[in-house]
Amino acid sequence: MKSLFKTGTDVADTRITDLPVPEVGPGQVLLRVEACGLCGSDLHAWRSDPGYEWIATPLVMGHEFVGTVVESAADVTDWAVGDRAVAVSIQGCLECPQCLAGRANRCAKRQVIGLNYNGAMAEFVVVPAVFLIRVPSTMLAAVAATVEPLSVAAHAVLTVGRVEAGQRVVVSGAGFIGIACALIAKDAGAEVILLGAPHDAQSRLPAAAALGIDARTVDTANWGQPDVWVEASGAQSALASAVETTRVGGTISVVAMYTQAPTASVSLIVRRELEVRGVYASVADEYAHVIDLLDRGRIHVSSLVAEFALDDALSAFEAAAASTVIKPLIVPAPVSAS
């Protein structure tokens, strides 16, 4: 099968190559990949950035995907050929207290498909059936492939941020996650402002505005004093602004990663009694929630994606690194498993 294969720590060590179609083991399902998204974690892994030394190679990357079942192990009874699914990307041990409480994203033994073991930037992928979630047969592949990052946004906004109708919410960061957070907060009934950098005014903020989001650059005044601030940019100044601006007793939900330590004032956090909470990935219930939102047409994301053929996958990485697209999707050509 055709695959995007990372064999070492240099970007030149990632290339298109042919690999055997993976064999199905006990409890596993083989899916034909329909589309696979590319996110910031994939970029970090591709470049072997600091903090990503743990990435196992050789490796097929890719954790944001949708696929169709083509084979399942004999002990898998709830999945049939032709079923469509997405995979929970953060996969816990299912036995520890965190997993048993429904918080597998906090599991100390968690693994990430496409980072710890072979993922979906290929024509086929094998996934433990227990981590699969159904998607409607009618949902476009380019939409279904965004379920994983949308679930992260739902975790940031609804679970961690606890956004409610009538609240004022600021989201900083105009990438896909930031726009998704704004969409989900607006769907929850909040008044939302999305903040982007000045260069986002070229395409990202207009794309968000076309979806009904109040999208502004960070140099625009009158953000107000939000009840909840969702920080999705990874910019030091954004977290500092969140601490300075969020209302007394408000919540800051931090879904971004930072290449440099932020310089937000801890004294302000103390004096304003702000609740600053980290956001890491998502859990199965949040996947199901965003699938329902998409299926009922309550949020729309198809205008935010750009498709790349698997043969052109390295161009997708380069476009993502240059921020010339919002959400690149790698789309293998239809193939047969035989």
Same domain membership, residue 137 and residue 42: yes
Same domain membership, residue 225 and residue 175: yes
- For the segment 308-318, the average pLDDT, to the nearest whole number, is 94
16, with CB counted inside 10 A (0-12, 13-18, 19+), is: middle
Q: Quote the CA–CA distance of 312 and 158 in Å, as a whole number.
A: 36
Contact yes or no for 47/96 (Cβ under 8 A): no
Same domain membership, residue 178 and residue 164: yes
pLDDT category at 96 given cuts 50, 70, 90 is very high
Token digits for 179? 């726009």
Same domain membership, residue 189 and residue 95: no
Q: Report the CATH number at residue 231.
A: 3.40.50.720
Same domain membership, residue 246 and residue 173: yes
338 pLDDT more than 50: no
Residue 296 covered by a domain: no
Same domain membership, residue 160 and residue 122: no
Q: Report the CATH number at residue 30.
A: 3.90.180.10
CA distances from 61 to 115, 116, 244, 266, 316 (A): 6, 9, 38, 37, 13
42, with CB counted inside 10 A (0-12, 13-18, 19+), is: buried
DSSP state of 292: H
Same domain membership, residue 162 and residue 140: no
Token digits for 238? 């954004």
Residue 225 covered by a domain: yes
Contact yes or no for 109/167 (Cβ under 8 A): no
Same domain membership, residue 159 and residue 231: yes
Same domain membership, residue 158 and residue 137: no
pTM score, whole prediction: 0.94
Same domain membership, residue 116 and residue 7: yes
Q: Please spell the DSSP secondary structure of 137-155, one letter per residue.
A: TTS-HHHHTTHHHHHHHHI
Question: What average pLDDT does the structure give for the chain?
Answer: 93
Residue 259 covered by a domain: yes
Range of the domain at 22: 2-146+301-331
Same domain membership, residue 266 and residue 162: yes
Residue 284 covered by a domain: no
- Count the domains in the chain: 2
Residue 336 covered by a domain: no
Same domain membership, residue 157 and residue 142: no
Residue 187 covered by a domain: yes
pLDDT category at 91 given cuts 50, 70, 90 is very high
Among residues 43, 34, 42, the alpha carbon closest in space to that of 145 is found at 34
**Could you report the per-residue pLDDT of 131-175, keeping only the tens digit for each?**
999 999 999 999 999 999 999 999 999 999 999 999 999 999 999
334 pLDDT more than 70: no
Q: Quote the CA–CA distance of 265 and 248 in Å, as a whole number.
A: 14
292 pLDDT more than 50: yes
193 pLDDT more than 60: yes
**Could you report the per-residue pLDDT of 202-223, keeping only the tens digit for each?**
999 999 999 999 999 988 767 7
Residue 289 covered by a domain: no
What pLDDT is attached to residue 224?
83
Phi, then psi, of 242 in degrees rounded to 5: -60, -45
pLDDT category at 337 given cuts 50, 70, 90 is very low
Residue 286 covered by a domain: no
pLDDT category at 287 given cuts 50, 70, 90 is very high
